C-alpha cells in the first residue's frame, strides 16, 4: 500500500467526473428565477454576492484610513472626509458584512440540509430578508454618494442628533431596514430548528454549527429591535428636535448609550457565534473526530447568547455611570468570557487523538483559534474596570475588536467558504494557492493589528485623523500589514471565481465529512434530498461514515 496521503481530500476520478445533471443552480434559468427564488440555497448565493460587494467597499475605506495614517499630519484628506471614512468603514463592515456574513450565506445554505429539511420554515420571508438587506445597502450607498455620514458607526447622541449636518437620516434609515433583514433571518432559523428537524434529529444530534446559529438567532431576534428603536429616536430627534438626548431640554445623552449598546453588544456575539459554529465543523472534519465536549460547546453557545445580553454597560464605564453599576457589569463581563474559553479548549482537545490534515479550512481554523484567543483575552483587559480607564477609546479597543472580528470572525468565514465551496458549487478551489492566501492573510493581520495594541496603551486615541509624531513608526507598520492583508483577501476572490469554471469536480463528499449535507450531491438538488433522511446516529459519527462508505463500496460491486 502506498504511503497515506497527507490530505483527506477524496475527489472523484476527474477524467469521468461531471457535475450532477440536475442541481439547484441549473434547475431554473434566468435572472428572474434567481431574484424571485424561494430556494434557501439560491438566497444564500445572492447574499454571498452582495456581502462580498460590500466587503470590498468597506475594505476600500479601511485602505484609505490606513493610507492617511501613514503620516502624523492630516495631509491626505480633510478631517470631515476622514471622519466619513471610518464611519462608513464601520457601518458597512458591521451591518452589511459581519452581521449577515456566516448566517445569511452559510447558515441559509446549510441549516436546512444539516437538519434534514427541504428548506427553511419561511422561504419567502427568507427572500424578503435579502431584499431588505439590499435596500439597506442601497440606502447606505445613497448616503455615501450624497456625501457620506460622519457620526461614527455608533451614532452617538447628541453629536448625531444636533451637531452634524451630514446624511444621518438616510444612513440611520438604511441600518433600520438592514436590521429587519437580520431579525427575519434569525426568526426563520429559530422556527426551522425547532420545527423542521428530520425524524431522529434530536437537539443533541444536531451539528454544532446549528447550535451556534440558534444562539445567534436568539440574539438577532431579541436584540436588533432595540437598535431599531434607538435609530428611530435619533431620526425623530433630528426631525423634530425634542431633546430626548439633549440635557438642556431635560433629556439624557446616556439614554441613547444604553439603548444603543443594549443591541450593539449582543451584536458582537451575533457576529462571532456563527463563526464559532464553522470552526466546530472544520476542526472536527480535519481531525476525523467528534468535537471534544459536544454538550459543553453546545451549552456554551447558548450561555454566550444569554450572558451577552447583560454586559452592555461595559462600553460606558467612563461615561459617568454609577460606580456600583459598573461593578456589576464588569463582573458579568468576566462571566461571559468563560464560555468562549471553554470552546477554545474543547477545539484544542478535539485535535488530541485525532488524525489531522492541514487543508485550507483547517489553516483558517487554526488562525481563528490563535487570534480569537488574543482578541478574547484583550477583552478581559477591557472588562477590568481600572484597566479600561487607560485603554478605552484608544487604539487598544480598535485592535481588540479587529482581532476578534477579523482575526476571528473573518477567518472563520473564509474557513467556511472554503470548506463548503465544493458543496455549494460542485467545484474545488486550488489548494496550494488557497493555503498561500491563508498564510498571507495571517501574517498581514498580525502586522496590521499587533502594533495597535501598543499604540493604545501609549494613549493614541481612536478615530484620530492626525497624531503625535512619535506614534508614526507603529502606524507605518500597521499600514504595511494592511496592504499585505488586502492582498490576502483579494486572492480568494480571484481563485474562487476561477474555480467556478476550471476547478476540479468535487463529488458528494470531498472532505469525507459526516454532516447530512455531505451525503447528497454537490451542488445539491433544489429539494435537498430525494427522500427526507432519518437520523439514526450521533453528530460527527465517523464510525457511521466509515461503515456507510464501506457499504457503498460493497453495493457498487
Partner 1 sequence: MGISPVLWQFLVKWLNASALFPREASTIAPYMDSLYFFLISITLVGVFLVATLIVTFSIRYRKAVHPVATQVEGSTLLEATWTIIPLGLFLICFVWGALLYFRIYTPPANSSNIYIVGKQWMWKAEHPGGQHEINALHVPIGQPIQLTMISQDVFHSFSIPEFRIKREAIPGRYSTVWFEATTPGQYHLFCTQYCGTNHSQMIGTVTAMTPADYKKWTEQSTSGMSLAQNGERIFASMGCNACHTGNAAARGPNLAGVFGSRLRLSNGSDVLVNEAYLRDAILNPSQHVTSGYTPIMPTYQGQISEDGLIDLVEYLKNLNSNERVQQTLTTSQSDQSAPQASGVVKP
Partner 2 sequence: MHSAIANPQVEFPVPGAGEQEHEHVSLPQHRHHFATEEQQREAGSFGMWLFLLTEIMFFGGLFFAYLIFRNWYYDAFVTASNQLSVPLGAVNTAILITSGFFMALAVWAAEVRKQGLLVLFLILTTLLGFAFLGIKADEYHEKYEKHHIPGASFDTSQFINPAAYGLSEKPLAPDAAQKTQLFFFLYFAMTGMHALHMVLGLGILFWLMIRAQRGDFSSGYVAPIENFGLYWHFVDIVWIFLFPLLYLINRHPLAH
The nearest distance, CB 105 to partner 2, in angstroms, is 20
Contact with partner 2 (CB under 8 A) among 52, 56, 67, 118? 118
Contact with partner 2 (CB under 8 A) among 20, 90, 107, 123? 123
Among the listed ranges 162-170, 250-258, 399-407, 482-490, the one in contact with partner 2 (CB under 8 A) is: 250-258
- Could you please report the per-residue DSSP string of 251-278? --HHHHHHHHHHHHHHHHHHHHHHHHHH
328 binds, among partner 2, partner 1, none (CB under 5 to 8 A by kind): none
Give yes or no for residue 298 binding partner 2 (CB under 8 A).
Answer: no
Nearer to partner 1, 30 or 250 (CB): 250
Contact with partner 2 (CB under 8 A) among 100, 251, 274, 507? 251
Please tell me the distance from the alpha carbon of residue 210 to that of residue 192, in angstroms, as a whole number: 10
Give yes or no for residue 521 binding partner 2 (CB under 8 A).
Answer: no
Please tell me the distance from the alpha carbon of residue 53 to that of residue 138, in angstroms, as a whole number: 12
Nearer to partner 2, 9 or 242 (CB): 242
Please tell me the distance from the alpha carbon of residue 234 to that of residue 161, in angstroms, as a whole number: 6
The nearest distance, CB 171 to partner 1, in angstroms, is 15
Is residue 270 within 8 Å of 226, Cβ to Cβ? Answer: no
Give yes or no for residue 190 binding partner 2 (CB under 8 A).
Answer: yes
Give yes or no for residue 191 binding partner 2 (CB under 8 A).
Answer: yes
Q: How far is CA 404 from CA 34, 308, 317, 501, in A?
A: 34, 15, 21, 34
Please tell me the distance from the alpha carbon of residue 432 to that of residue 218, in angstroms, as a whole number: 39
Cis peptide before 112 (omega within 30 of 0): no
Is residue 284 within 8 Å of 545, Cβ to Cβ? Answer: no
Residues paired with residue 461 on neighbouring β-strands, in sequence order: 394
The nearest distance, CB 174 to partner 1, in angstroms, is 20
Contact with partner 2 (CB under 8 A) among 43, 233, 282, 424? 233
The nearest distance, CB 93 to partner 2, in angstroms, is 24
Give yes or no for residue 249 binding partner 2 (CB under 8 A).
Answer: yes
Q: Name which of residues 85 to 114 contact partner 2 (CB under 8 A).
A: 112
Please tell me the distance from the alpha carbon of residue 444 to that of residue 167, in angstroms, as a whole number: 34
Is residue 525 classed as helix, strand or coil in its secondary structure? strand
Nearer to partner 1, 458 or 480 (CB): 458
Please tell me the distance from the alpha carbon of residue 208 to that of residue 342, in angstroms, as a whole number: 14
Nearer to partner 2, 131 or 349 (CB): 131
The nearest distance, CB 240 to partner 2, in angstroms, is 5
Nearer to partner 2, 123 or 274 (CB): 123
Q: Name which of residues 196 to 215 contact partner 2 (CB under 8 A).
A: 196
288 binds, among partner 2, partner 1, none (CB under 5 to 8 A by kind): partner 1
229 binds, among partner 2, partner 1, none (CB under 5 to 8 A by kind): partner 2
Alpha carbons within 13 A on the beta-carbon side of 228: 15
Nearer to partner 2, 9 or 222 (CB): 222
Q: Give me the sign of the Cα torsion angle 34, 35, 39, 45.
A: positive
Cis peptide before 523 (omega within 30 of 0): yes
Compute how many other C-beta atoms are within 10 angstroms of the C-beta atom of residue 293: 17
CA angle 290, 295, 296 (to 5 degrees): 105
168 binds, among partner 2, partner 1, none (CB under 5 to 8 A by kind): none
Please tell me the distance from the alpha carbon of residue 165 to that of residue 57, in angstroms, as a whole number: 23
The nearest distance, CB 10 to partner 2, in angstroms, is 27
Nearer to partner 1, 395 or 420 (CB): 395
Please tell me the distance from the alpha carbon of residue 283 to that of residue 361, in angstroms, as a whole number: 9
Among the listed ranges 55-63, 206-214, 253-261, 365-373, the one in contact with partner 2 (CB under 8 A) is: 253-261
Helix pair angle (40-68, 79-91), 10° resolution:
150
Q: How far is CA 145 from CA 76, 170, 239, in A?
A: 20, 11, 22
Q: Name which of residues 22 to 61 contact partner 2 (CB under 8 A).
A: 27, 36-38
342 binds, among partner 2, partner 1, none (CB under 5 to 8 A by kind): partner 1
Among the listed ranges 244-252, 368-376, 477-485, 496-504, the one in contact with partner 2 (CB under 8 A) is: 244-252
Is residue 394 classed as helix, strand or coil in its secondary structure? strand
- Residues interacting with partner 2, by CB under 8 A? 27, 36-38, 112, 117-125, 128, 183, 187-188, 190-192, 194-196, 221-226, 228-230, 232-233, 236, 240-244, 249-252, 255, 258-259, 262, 526-527, 530-532
Amino acid at each position: 500500500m502506498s504511503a497515506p496521503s497527507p490530505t483527506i481530500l477524496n475527489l472523484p476520478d476527474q477524467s469521468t467526473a461531471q457535475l450532477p445533471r440536475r442541481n439547484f443552480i441549473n434547475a431554473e434559468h434566468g435572472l428572474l428565477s434567481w431574484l424571485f427564488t424561494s430556494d434557501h440555497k439560491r438566497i444564500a448565493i445572492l447574499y454571498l454576492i452582495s456581502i462580498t460587494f460590500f466587503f470590498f467597499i468597506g475594505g476600500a475605506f479601511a485602505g484609505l484610513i490606513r493610507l492617511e495614517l501613514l503620516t502624523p499630519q492630516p495631509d491626505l484628506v480633510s478631517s470631515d472626509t476622514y471622519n466619513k471614512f471610518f464611519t462608513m468603514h464601520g457601518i458597512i463592515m458591521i451591518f452589511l458584512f459581519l452581521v449577515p456574513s456566516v448566517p445569511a450565506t452559510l447558515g441559509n445554505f446549510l441549516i436546512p440540509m444539516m437538519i434534514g429539511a427541504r428548506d427553511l420554515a419561511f422561504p419567502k420571508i427568507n427572500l424578503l430578508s435579502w431584499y431588505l438587506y439590499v435596500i439597506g445597502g442601497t440606502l447606505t450607498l445613497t448616503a455615501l454618494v450624497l456625501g457620506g455620514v460622519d457620526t461614527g458607526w455608533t451614532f452617538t447622541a447628541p453629536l448625531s442628533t444636533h451637531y452634524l449636518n451630514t446624511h444621518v437620516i438616510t444612513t440611520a434609515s438604511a441600518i433600520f431596514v438592514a436590521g429587519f433583514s437580520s431579525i427575519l433571518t434569525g426568526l426563520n432559523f429559530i422556527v426551522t430548528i425547532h420545527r423542521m428537524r428530520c425524524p431522529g434529529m434530536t437537539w443533541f444530534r444536531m451539528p454544532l454549527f446549528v447550535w451556534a446559529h440558534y444562539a445567534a438567532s436568539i440574539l438577532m431576534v431579541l436584540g436588533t429591535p432595540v437598535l431599531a428603536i434607538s435609530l428611530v429616536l435619533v431620526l425623530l430627534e433630528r426631525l423634530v428636535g425634542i431633546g430626548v438626548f439633549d440635557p438642556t431640554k431635560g433629556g439624557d445623552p446616556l439614554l441613547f448609550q444604553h439603548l444603543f449598546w443594549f443591541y450593539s453588544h449582543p451584536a458582537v456575539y451575533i457576529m462571532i457565534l456563527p463563526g464559532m459554529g464553522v470552526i466546530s465543523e472544520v476542526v472536527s472534519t480535519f481531525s476525523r473526530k467528534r468535537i471534544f465536549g459536544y454538550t459543553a460547546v453546545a451549552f456554551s453557545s447558548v450561555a454566550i447568547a444569554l450572558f451577552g445580553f447583560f454586559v452592555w454597560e461595559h462600553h460606558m464605564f467612563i461615561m459617568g455611570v454609577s460606580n456600583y453599576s459598573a461593578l456589576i457589569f464588569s463582573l458579568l463581563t468576566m462571566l461571559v468570557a468563560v464560555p468562549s474559553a471553554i470552546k477554545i479548549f474543547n477545539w484544542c482537545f478535539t485535535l488530541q487523538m485525532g488524525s489531522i490534515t492541514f487543508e485550507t479550512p483547517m489553516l483558517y481554523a487554526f488562525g481563528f483559534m490563535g487570534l480569537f484567543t488574543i482578541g478574547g483575552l484583550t477583552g478581559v483587559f477591557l472588562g477590568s474596570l481600572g484597566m479600561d480607564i487607560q485603554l478605552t477609546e484608544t487604539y487598544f479597543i480598535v485592535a481588540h475588536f479587529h482581532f476578534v472580528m477579523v482575526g476571528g470572525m473573518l477567518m472563520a468565514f473564509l474557513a467556511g467558504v472554503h470548506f463548503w465551496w465544493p458543496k455549494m458549487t460542485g467545484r474545488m478551489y486550488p489548494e496550494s494557492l488557497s493555503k498561500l492566501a491563508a498564510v498571507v492573510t495571517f501574517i498581514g493581520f498580525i502586522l496590521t493589528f499587533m502594533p495597535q495594541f501598543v499604540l493604545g496603551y501609549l494613549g493614541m486615541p481612536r478615530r484620530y485623523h492626525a497624531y503625535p509624531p512619535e506614534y508614526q513608526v507603529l502606524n507605518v507598520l500597521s499600514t504595511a500589514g494592511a496592504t499585505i492583508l488586502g492582498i490576502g483577501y483579494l486572492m480568494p476572490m480571484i481563485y474562487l471565481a476561477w474555480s467556478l469554471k476550471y476547478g476540479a469536480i468535487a463529488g458528494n463528499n470531498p472532505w469525507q465529512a459526516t454532516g447530512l449535507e455531505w451525503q447528497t450531491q454537490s451542488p445539491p438538488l433544489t429539494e435537498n434530498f430525494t427522500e427526507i433522511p432519518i437520523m439514526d446516529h450521533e453528530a460527527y459519527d465517523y464510525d457511521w461514515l466509515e461503515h456507510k462508505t464501506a457499504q457503498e463500496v460493497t453495493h457498487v460491486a
